Amino acid sequence: MGVNELMGEIAGVGRDARRGGYSRHVYDYADFELRDWFIDQALDSGLDVNTDRNGNIWAWWGNPGSDAVVTGSHLDSVPGGGAYDGPLGVASALAAVEILQGKGFAPAKPLALLVFAEEEGGRFGVPCLGSRLLTGAIDADRARNLRDTDGVTLAEAAVKAGHDPKRFGADPESLAQIGCFVELHVEQGRGLIELDSPVATGSSIIAHGRYRFSFSGQGNHAGATRLADRHDPMLPAATVVAAARRAAAAMNDARATVGRLVPTPGGTNVIASTVDLWLDARVSGEGRTAVLVEDITEAARAAAEAEGCELTVTEESYSDDVVFDETLRSRMDKVLGGVPALPTGAGHDAGILAAHVPSGMLYVRNPTGISHAPEEYAEPADIDSGAQSLARVLEELAG
């Protein structure tokens, strides 16, 4: 089945009628359906499928072994996300195998497809959970105890999904099988529109941190409480939203976003007792994310104090700048006949793996330039080019 047909098969899974787009979160029903779909497709292609200790799915062409050429991505989405972020890399991996099988290619090295259990952090907050667990970049206990918005822990969700969370954690045996890793992904910005190219390789990823700001004040009556008597945590929370934009604008090529803010109890006529918000901060260069977050935190502390509120700030995840392996990138570039190399502000499992094995990315043009939203798109012809490009890269690497 071609890559566009594969994408068509899952187009109805996990649609979010309220937000628009897709909400596919790790170990929810849509995720189960997508994981089963991937396994069925891989088995149909004659691959051997196994799930590792951390819930990542591997599909092997030939016997598992070291120095494998591995490609894949993720199936989960952000809330109300697009159709392509993640699944395009998985469908392209399946399609690339079919292209290579169709031309009678016999891999000299083991070749595997890898579906990471969770990339967006849409349910448990920490991005790239599957690859962080695999590589030991997150403590297994901390991961097991992460909670979703309903209070369900990752461990509980994993048990429901048939996994044994006691086995979560660094998996050096699985990691040692990977000789190199290539992730195909829809582009999440405007780079390929401007360069007028259907595909690119990835050169680097900007450092990225997520921070929880928890403000507590005094819940009270919106009509009966005089302004002077209030301790309203929404005021310092609003300061963070504005400070994030101001602080990022003051640094070269920085990004800071508040995309999620939760007042408790959350009533129109109720002064909130607490407000939690999550800051997503990204800026390249050692220590510069800390500088950016400190600037925002200072503004938050001053605003909290002025309103008589308390503030705690917790770093939930951090990833340093990633520079993808130049030898691998230039091999991909050569086999593709010279394509642009793009830096990105979006995080990927390939970025987590890059600290351990030569890793690279292939991007497919997104004509809207929009991602993490329903408008994310890729033209069928570009999607085909992407899968053909991935097949050529795998042929070169595993041949």
Residue type (1 letter), 288: R
Of 56 and 317, nearer to ligand GLV (C-beta) is 317
Which residues, including other chains, have CB under 8 Å from residue 4's CB and lie 6 or more apart?
Answer: 380, 383, 384
Per CB under 5 A, the list member of 31, 52, 76, 85 interacting with Mn ion is 85
Q: Nearer Cβ to ligand GLV, position 256 or 336?
A: 256
State which residue, 3 or 346, has the beta carbon closest to ligand GLV. 346
Residue nearer to Mn ion on the CB measure, 85 or 280: 85
Nearer to ligand GLV, 208 or 230 (CB): 208
Partner touching 127 among ligand GLV, Mn ion, none, CB below 5 to 8 Å by kind: ligand GLV
Residue 217 contact, options Mn ion, ligand GLV, none, Cβ 5-8 Å cut-off depending on partner type: none
Residue 155 or 322: the one with the smaller Cβ distance to Mn ion is: 322
> How many residues are listed for the chain in this entry?
399
| Pairwise CA distance, residues 247 & 356, whole Å | 33
What φ, ψ does residue 115 adopt, rounded to 5°?
Answer: -110, 115
Whichever of 118 and 395 has its CB closer to ligand GLV, that residue is 118
Q: Tell whether residue 276 is a contact of Mn ion (CB under 5 A).
A: no
Partner interacting with residue 86 (select from ligand GLV, Mn ion, none; CB below 5-8 Å by kind): Mn ion
Provide the sign of the torsion angle of the four alpha carbons 346, 200, 40, 8, taken in this order: positive
The nearest distance, CB 26 to ligand GLV, in angstroms, is: 14
CB 317, CB 210: distance < 8 Å: yes
Q: Is 86 in the site for Mn ion (CB under 5 A)?
A: yes
For residue 304, the one-letter residue type is A
Q: How far apart are CA 235 and CA 277, in angstroms?
A: 12
Instruction: Give CA–CA dist 21/120, Å, rounded.
Output: 15
One-letter amino acid at 340 equals P
**Residue partners of 109: CB distance under 8 A and separation at least 6:** 67, 68, 69, 179, 397, 398
Question: Could you tell me the smallest distance in angstroms from the CB atom of residue 127 to ligand GLV?
Answer: 6
Min CB(128)–Mn ion separation in Å:
9
Site for Mn ion in 116-145 (CB under 5 A): none
Q: Which is nearer to Mn ion, 109 or 260 (CB)?
A: 260
Least distance to Mn ion, CB of residue 188, Å: 7
* 219/274 Cα distance (integer angstroms): 8
The reply on whether position 347 binds ligand GLV by CB under 6 A is yes
In angstroms, the Cα distances linking 363 to 72, 223, 239, 353, 388 are 13, 53, 36, 17, 12
Please choose which of Mn ion, ligand GLV, none residue 347 contacts, taking the beta carbon within 5 to 8 angstroms, the exact cut-off set by kind. Answer: ligand GLV
Contact region with Mn ion (CB under 5 A), list: 84-92, 143-151, 214-222, 294-302: 84-92
**Closest distance between ligand GLV and the C-beta of residue 221, in Å?**
39
Backbone angles phi, psi at 183, to 5 degrees: -115, 125
Distance between CA atoms of residues 153 and 149, nearest Å: 10
Region near Mn ion per CB under 5 A, out of 17-25, 77-85, 127-135, 200-208: 77-85
CB-nearest residue to Mn ion: 85
From 55-63, 81-89, 163-171, 308-316, give the range in contact with Mn ion by CB under 5 A: 81-89
Residue numbers 82-141 binding ligand GLV by CB under 6 A: 120, 127
Q: Closest distance between ligand GLV and the C-beta of residue 120, in Å?
A: 6
Shortest separation between residue 302's beta carbon and ligand GLV, angstroms: 29
Tell me whether residue 204 or residue 274 sits nearer to ligand GLV (CB atom).
204
Tokens at 250, concatenated: 């003051």
The H-assigned helical ranges of the chain are 3-9, 29-44, 87-102, 129-135, 140-144, 154-160, 172-176, 191-195, 234-249, 288-306, 326-335, 349-353, 380-398
Note the residues at the interface with Mn ion (CB under 5 A).
85-86
Report the interface residues with ligand GLV, using CB under 6 A: 120, 127, 346-347
